[in-house]
Amino acid sequence: MNKRFEGKVMLITGAAQGIGERVAERAAQEGATLALVDRSPLVLELRDRLAATTRVIAIETDLEKFEGALQAAEATHKAFGRIDVLVNNVGGTIWTKPYEHYGPEEIEAEVRRSLFPTLWGCRAVLPYMLKKKKGAIVNVSSIATRSVNRVPYGAAKGGVNAMTACLAFENGERGIRINAVAPGGTEAPPRRIPRNSAKPGKKEQAWYQQIVDQTVDSTLMKRYGTLDEQASAILFLASDEASYITGTVIPVGGGDQG
């Protein structure tokens, strides 16, 4: 097994389920010391499962607030004395419908969920990396910046792309690389804690199916990706193998550029 992250501390947000969970599992196998962050207590189960493989802590906190991101960064640095890699993975569509059906409070909720945790995460962790003059940040965006029935989410992820580029400009000469991956549709087990607990009606089901159809139609491979295909791209950008890559958004969507 390649040990690309031996001796490195990796902070992963949104680690309890889906892509974040798979990144954590793979990073542990590759030698990373882990700080797993999520507002769900499921992150404690992942910590216990990975503890046999690596040094790991879990932090339950709400990353939609700066205080939560600050808590995560401080706890990680206190436990391990450094933060080498940050993977900002929090985000996800809460509602799927044409834009005219979104209420103002829903629009704000989508942006809080899928933009602010990345803004706050970078702001909380950068000072630790700047002191060392070295670090890597990988933001998880989405190819949904060009898609249907997810305008607020797409806008939030467009913000993630912009901040990735701007932060790379600011920090490239200071030893810190900032990149993003933009996942396409990804096959994953059903979420144990759904983003939206409301039971969808026929109209909502039809709107969601439009997303699925458009996602598959937009890919050149005509399929969804896997969790490992997403994790591989994230961990590549996080590793020293990508030492001359910064300010880049890599679409991982079977040819869909987003």
- Please state the separation of Cα 47 from the chain's center in Å: 18
- Catalytic residue, candidates 128, 153, 208, 244: 153
Structure tokens at 162: 């912009």
Q: What's the Cα-to-Cα distance from 100 to each of 72, 115, 156, 195, 215, rounded to whole Å? A: 37, 21, 17, 21, 21
Q: How far apart are CA 197 and CA 257, in angstroms?
A: 31
Q: Do the Cβ atoms of 7 and 81 come closer than 8 Å?
A: no
Beta carbons within 8 Å of 103's beta carbon, 6+ residues apart: none
Read off the amino acid at residue 45: E
Alpha-helical (H) ranges within the chain are: 18-29, 42-50, 66-80, 104-114, 116-132, 151-171, 202-218, 227-238
Residue 244: active-site member? no
In the block, tokens 């906190």 appear at 61
Tell how strand 9-13 and strand 85-88 pair up.
Answer: parallel
Catalytic residues: 153
